[in-house]
Amino acid sequence: MHHAFVIEGEAEEGIAVALGFAERDLGMKAEGNPDVVVLQYGLFSVADARRVTELAAGAAFAGEHRVIIIAASRAYHEAQNALLKVFEEPPFGTHLFLIFPTLGGLLPTLRSRVQVLSMSDIVSPTSNVGLTMSHIIPEIAREFITATKEKRTTIAKKLASGKDDDERRAHRDEAIALLNGIEVAAYRSQTSIQRHTALLSDIATLRGYLYDRSAPVKMILEHLSLVTPQGLL
């Protein structure tokens, strides 16, 4: 399971999803648990980022997992930079959530270290609490995983195209959702995670490339097509 998430949504909704993750995916009791920390800010500052880093460095009080949830209206770029190391290499068992109403100000360097989710991906049609994180696989990722080689090539061509900047940006975001979905599928696969070590390593590298505006999307997705087995779902 991925260790760091950014949720695009309102604070209360995002916090509910993160708490649900702690309870369903990690088996933790969210209420009154010192290993589940919820922090809310208006403007997230460098001092706030340092506090998060210090909290993440501490050991769990009652079990083997810690969940740190940070909800903010927006964040200084310097504060996001201060989070890079802990989001890239959090202590074992620590899971981090950032919740913003919009991701327009999210730095590419931070994006490359997290799995980005939107409420439309994670809210169940029958519940306002949200699905378990291990089931968040966007439809584009499901389609890609189960597709033939030829169909995967068609998807790659589509997501690498665009008649203008807005469409190209939307396609790149869809490519990122595809990649993140494959990562989730690899973690929840019925086969051993060790069998997917190379795939997960490639995904971590490719995610960083995709956040570059000049990213060779078609080449990235063609590589992803070669390394992604059809048996993930």
pLDDT for res 125: 40
pLDDT of 67-122, one tens digit each? 999 999 999 999 999 999 998 888 888 999 999 998 888 888 888 788 777 665 55
Output the six-digit token pair for 135: 């089931």
pLDDT at 11 over 70: yes
Token pair 């090539």: residue: 153
C-alpha distances (whole Å) from 197 to each of 18, 60, 93, 95, 102 are 26, 27, 18, 20, 32
pLDDT for res 169: 82
The C-alpha atoms of residue 58 and residue 70 are separated, in whole angstroms, by: 16
Mean pLDDT of 130-147: 74
pLDDT of 184-232, one tens digit each? 788 777 565 567 888 888 887 888 788 777 889 999 999 999 999 987 8
The model's pTM = 0.61
The C-alpha atoms of residue 56 and residue 90 are separated, in whole angstroms, by: 7
pLDDT for res 39: 97
Contact at 8 Å (CB) between 50 and 24? no
pLDDT for res 126: 39
Token pair 């940070």: residue: 70
Q: Going by DSSP bridges, is the β-strand pair 36-44/66-75 parallel, antiparallel, or unpaired?
A: parallel
pLDDT tier for residue 139 given thresholds of 50, 70 and 90? confident
In DSSP terms, which residues pair with 39 in a beta bridge? 70
pLDDT for res 135: 53
SS3 71: strand
The number of angstroms, rounded, from the C-alpha of 168 to the middle of its chain's C-alpha atoms is: 21
From 109, 133, 110, select the one nearest 122 (Cα to Cα): 133
